Structure 1
Amino acid sequence: MKIISGVSQKNNSYDAVYDCIRNMATEQSAPNLILCYFTERHNKETIISTLKSQFPSSKIHGCTSCQGIMTDQGFADDHSIAVWGIFDSGLGCYGTSISQFVSHYDIESLTIHLLEEAIKDSGREGELPSLVLLHATSGHEEKIISVIDTFFGSPVPLIGGTAADNHNQGLWSVFTQDGCVKSGISISVFYPSCKVSYSFHSGYAPSNVSGIATKTDQRTIYEIDNRPALEVYKEWTNMSCLLNKKTNLLENMAQYPFGRIAGYMYDIPYFKLAHPTKITNDGGIECFANIYEGEEVFVMYGEKDQIISRPQRVIDSATNFKQEKFVPIGGINIFCAGSMMHIKSSMLDVCDSVNAAMHGAPYICPFTFGEQGRFTGGENAHGNLMVSTVLFHN
């Protein structure tokens, strides 16, 4: 089994794809699955059609990424594209599926349909996959994950990232070899001939203040402890000067997300985060994750140094901190776009630390508007400002 990655910052999408796949093209067989991520300035139709023409038998899956992509070859910003191919000549099988959101399907029915289609596409019907990869557009990730867990009966490890654009303007998309949609769900199932390890972390610390969400509407929080949420948030963060209805909070508020307890490990809570993205016209704080009435919400805090070192810690967690005995074949990392923008000047340092943790093995890492993964306690979840990692190893 072999994994190959490639990255390019050429402006022409056709040239950039060929730049990325030149190492894959030298292999005697085509990759079983190609993952591809690119920024909004690239032409998605050109990218998908070029990959399909070069590797007609390969499955393809990916989404748009915010302001860049990271691989073992470095951090590429602005006009970038990256690919990642898995060559599994053993018993490995892979399947994909995709659909736009359609009126005659509710989210549950659509997700079940896509899972069935992806498993059928893999040729491994009746077997549990080792991994599910989810790329969707923003809005329904929690429901999709719940349906995936119910479908399999017991949680199958999950990794995923919500499609992103450069400035939260809706210029995102998800795609497979069967097409590209601006609003929908795409799924891949993995039956690799190797082992899979995973980790999912926030890397943020809770402050000493919290409250109960007393009025919410899906991803908008209106009241905390029966007080206006914006008023409470200003008190908690001392960020009044940056908070107004015209502010895009995506970059400014990566340091102070809301946190909800996702579970406990040895009586110590771990958290899933919700990233404030804007102030709504009716005075709410809109996030990239659902917050439910009755939930305790903490204001979380992330120092830049902690955010910079976090991806390496997540990889170390996936290896059970036995780095000297662990040599991965390759991996997939999902990194929050808001966190990346918060530490963008230090992304080369992040890349160096990830490369060291990966022992130089190839990986790919888009920057997304929501991250999905499996916590140490076994729960699959959706959050913001998170890092999710999957490692493939013998």
Structure 2
Amino acid sequence: MKTVQLVKQKHKNNQWTYVGENQKLKEPLVLVFGNRYMLEEDSVYEEIRKLFPDGHIIFGSACAEISLNTVNEESITITAIEFEKSNFLIKTSNVLNSDLDSFKTGNELIQQFPEEGLKYVFVVSEGSFINGSQLTKGMNTSTQNNLLITGGLCGDDARFEKTLASYNENPKEGEIVAIGFYGETLEVSFSIHGGWTPFGPERIVTKSKDNTLYELDGQPALDLYKTYLGDKARDLPGAALLYPLNVTSTEEKQSIVRSILNINEEDNAVILAGDIPVNSKVQLMMTNVDNIANASEQAARQALEFRKNKPEIAFLVSCIGRKLVLDQRVEEEIEEVIEVLGNNTVTCGFYSYGEIAPFHGEVACQLHNQTMTITLMSE
């Protein structure tokens, strides 16, 4: 496996800078994560096509990008990978073309891949229109819950205006890109960790539909949430990323963290990144910088635990909410991961609106919020 990484900063002459060595790659997988405004430039695809004439170029807008031991903002980061023993296949779907049916979109996307030899799928999904819970359920159903799928929902910093993704064309709205990996010697492992702690009273969801929460204990959800936030309620919906919900549903064995992505003043409701079933138990959560960094270290150690070979590349997907808590110390959680994995493992990835991965020890993927998701790969 050979890799090349480049970064272009918006405020630094708009020039590409190589991170590490520059080497010639043959038909590489080219992962391009970047600032949404920069990805909207008409010339972005052609510019990267000139750098990698025979590359398979995948775009995803991000809240920030991860390369080696840094977190890049207001930039575009490229990680190009040449596989020597493995193959990959890329399929796309657009949620806007399926009447916003996220389950159907996920199901049909994974069904496009030939099953024989398929080891793993990495998903770069648009993050504005999709219901991530339904997307992951659809993907699992098409594989009888026995295929490892990880990835994330694209981001747009804390703006939540729109997200973009594409394969071999200029980035666009509604697009979901999946990369299927094939190879006998391919070894893939993963782990996730959050580092958030529940606090305050546990309440019951008494009214909800899909990912919209209307009532807790019979009271309007938004009013209740504003009461908890106090003065910080003025900064909604952004402030909600600092206080996500711990959701324990009757359908799942493990509780799951849900970020509040938006609010609906008219209906006195909050809109979450994924489904919140009626009768679920809900608690507020909080964290600090040390807990987040420690959780990322734990995720890295767990992902390494049962591997036979040293990982050559690590795909990291972390959450916008973690980035807001870490603030100026955002690189600390990446440094913790690298310290565990070692400098010979190339790290790449992005800060997202939602992370896709199974719970540790399971296979069926889920939508998570506020986690660090690590996928390790070697040939």
Q: Fold-level match, TM-score > 0.5?
A: yes
**Structure-2 change in CA distance of 1:112 and 1:154 (3 Å):** closer
Q: 1:74, 1:160 → 2: CA distance?
A: 20
Residue 292 to residue 100, structure 1, CA distance change in 2 (3 Å): closer
- Secondary structure at the aligned position of 1:355 is classed as helix
Q: Point out the more displaced range, 253-262 or 137-146.
A: 253-262
The amino acid of 1:2's aligned partner reads K
SS where residue 4 of structure 1 aligns? Answer: strand
Cα 1:181–1:43 shift into 2, 3 Å: closer
- What 5-or-longer segments of structure 2 have no aligned partner? none
Give, in angstroms, the shift of residue 215 of structure 1: 0.9
Letter in 1 for 2:341: M
Instruction: Please state whether the residue corresponding to 2:109 is helix, strand or coil.
Output: helix
Give the CA deviation at 1:155.
Answer: 3.1
Contact 1:36 1:82 in 2 (8 A): yes
Q: Is the 8 A contact 1:3 1:87 kept in 2?
A: yes
Q: C-alpha displacement at 1:23, in angstroms? A: 4.3
Question: TM-score scaled by structure 2?
Answer: 0.87
Q: CA deviation at 1:257?
A: 1.0
- Distance in 1 (alpha carbons) for counterparts of 2:166 and 2:18: 18
* Selected match of 2:370 from 385, 388, 391: 385
**Separation in 2 of the partners of 1:358 and 1:81?**
24
- Shift of the 168–199 alpha-carbon distance from structure 1 to 2, 3 Å rule, reads same
Q: Alpha-carbon deviation of 1:279? A: 3.2
Aligned residues: 373
Gaps of 5+ in 1: none
How far is 1:301 from its partner?
Answer: 2.4
Mean alpha-carbon deviation: is it higher for 54-63 or for 194-203?
54-63
Q: Provide the rounded CA distance (Å) in 1 between the counterparts of 2:144 and 2:62.
A: 32
CA contact (8 A) 2:256 2:368 kept: yes
How far apart are 1:151 and its partner, in Å? 0.8
**2:7 pairs with 1:7:** yes
Instruction: Report the CA distance shift for 1:140/1:363 in structure 2 as closer, same or farther (over 3 A).
Output: same
Q: Partner amino acid for 1:391?
A: L
- Of 198, 210, 213, 1:218 maps to 210
Q: For residues 128-163 of structure 1, what are the alpha-carbon distances to aligned partners after superposition, in whole Å with 9 as ceiling and x for unaligned? A: 332332422333221121111111123311212212
Report deviation, 1:275. Answer: 1.2
Q: 1:153 to 1:47 in 2, by over 3 A?
A: same
1:146 aligns with 2:146: no
Which position in structure 1 is the counterpart of 2:72? 76
Which residue identity does 2:248 align to in structure 1? Answer: I
On the 8 A contact 2:131/2:211 being kept in 1, the answer is no
Contact 2:93/2:105, CA 8 A, preserved across alignment: no
The answer on 1:65 being equivalent to 2:62 is yes
Aligned to 2:241: 254
5 Å matches for 1:8-157? 8-11=8-11, 15-16=14-15, 18-20=16-18, 23-24=21-22, 26-27=23-24, 29-31=26-28, 33-44=29-40, 45-66=42-63, 68-77=64-73, 79-99=74-94, 101-103=96-98, 106-117=101-112, 119=113, 126-138=116-128, 139-157=130-148
Q: Secondary structure at the match of 2:324?
A: helix
Aligned to 1:356: 339
| Cα distance in 2, alignment partners of residues 99 and 257 from structure 1 | 28
Taking structure 1 as the reference length, the TM-score comes to 0.84
Secondary structure (helix, strand or coil) at the match of 2:36 reads: coil
Q: Counterpart in 2 of 1:285? A: 270
Alpha-carbon distance, 1:87 to partner: 1.3
Moved over 4 A (4+): 10-13, 20-24, 103-106, 262-265
Matches within 5 A, 1:217-236: 217-234=209-226
Q: 1:200 and 1:62, CA in 2 relative to 1: closer, same or farther beyond 3 A?
A: farther
The C-alpha deviation readout for 1:313-371, integer Å capped at 9, x for no partner, is 2111111288xx86320110001012102211112322322221220221112111111
Q: Do 1:5 and 1:83's aligned partners in 2 also have CA atoms closer than 8 Å? A: yes
CA distance in 2, matches of 1:294, 1:20: 52
3-state SS of 1:50 partner? helix
Q: What SS does the aligned partner of 1:243 have?
A: helix
Instruction: Identify if the C-alpha distance between structure 1 residues 28 and 373 changes in structure 2 by more than 3 Å, giving closer, same or farther.
Output: closer
In structure 2, do the counterparts of structure 1 residues 356 and 10 end up closer, same or farther at CA, with 3 Å as the change threshold?
same
Contact 2:259/2:273, CA 8 A, preserved across alignment:
yes
User: Distance between the aligned counterparts of 1:11 and 1:367, measured in 2?
Assistant: 20
How well do the aligned residues superpose, as a CA RMSD in angstroms? 2.9
- Counterpart of 1:365? 349
The structure-2 alpha-carbon separation of the partners of 1:40 and 1:179, relative to structure 1 and needing over 3 Å to count, comes to closer
**Rounded Cα–Cα distance in structure 2 between residues aligned with 1:254 and 1:376:** 24
Confirm or deny that 1:241 pairs with 2:236: no
SS in structure 1 at match of 2:142: helix
For 2:155, the equivalent position in structure 1 comes to 164
Q: Is the 8 A contact 1:222 1:228 kept in 2?
A: yes
Using the alignment, how far apart are the partners of 1:115 and 1:260 within structure 2?
27
For 2:250 and 2:187, locate their aligned partners in 1 and report how far apart those are by CA, in whole Å: 25
Q: 1:218 to 1:112 in 2, by over 3 A?
A: closer
Q: Is the 8 A contact 1:264 1:270 kept in 2?
A: no
